[in-house]
Amino acid sequence: MESKGRVFVVAGPSGAGKDTLIRKALQKVEDIHYSVSATTRPPREGEVEGRDYYFLSDDEFDRLATQGALLEWEEVFGRRYGTMKSEVEKATSSGKNILLELDVKGALNVRAKMKHALLVFIMPPSLEELESRLEKRRLDKEGDIKLRTDIAPGEMEIGRNSFDVVIVNDDADKATEKLASVLRGEKT
Written as one string, the DSSP assignment of 76-123 is ETTEEEEEEHHHHHHHHHTT-EEEEE--HHHHHHHHHH-TTPEEEEEE
The 10 Å Cβ neighbour count of residue 27 is 8
Range 68-107, binding ligand 5GP (CB under 6 A): 72-74, 76, 81-83, 101-103, 106
d(CA 114, CA 184): 19
Return the number of the residue (52 or 164) whose C-beta is nearest ligand 5GP: 52
Return the number of the residue (37 or 176) whose C-beta is nearest ligand 5GP: 37
Residue 124 binds to ligand 5GP (criterion: CB under 6 A): no
**CB-nearest residue to ligand 5GP:** 106
Residue 9 binds to ligand 5GP (criterion: CB under 6 A): no
Q: With contacts defined by CB under 6 A, how many residues of the chain interact with ligand 5GP?
A: 14
Q: Which of 14, 40, 169, 176 binds ligand 5GP (CB under 6 A)?
A: 14
- State the minimum distance, in angstroms, from the CB of residue 131 to ligand 5GP: 16
d(CA 169, CA 18): 9
Sign of CA dihedral 138, 139, 143, 148: negative
Range 29-58, binding ligand 5GP (CB under 6 A): 37, 41
Q: How many residues does the chain have?
A: 188
DSSP-derived pairing of the beta strands 37-39 and 79-84? antiparallel
Return the number of the residue (96 or 148) whose C-beta is nearest ligand 5GP: 148
Positions touching ligand 5GP (CB under 6 A) are: 14, 37, 41, 72-74, 76, 81-83, 101-103, 106
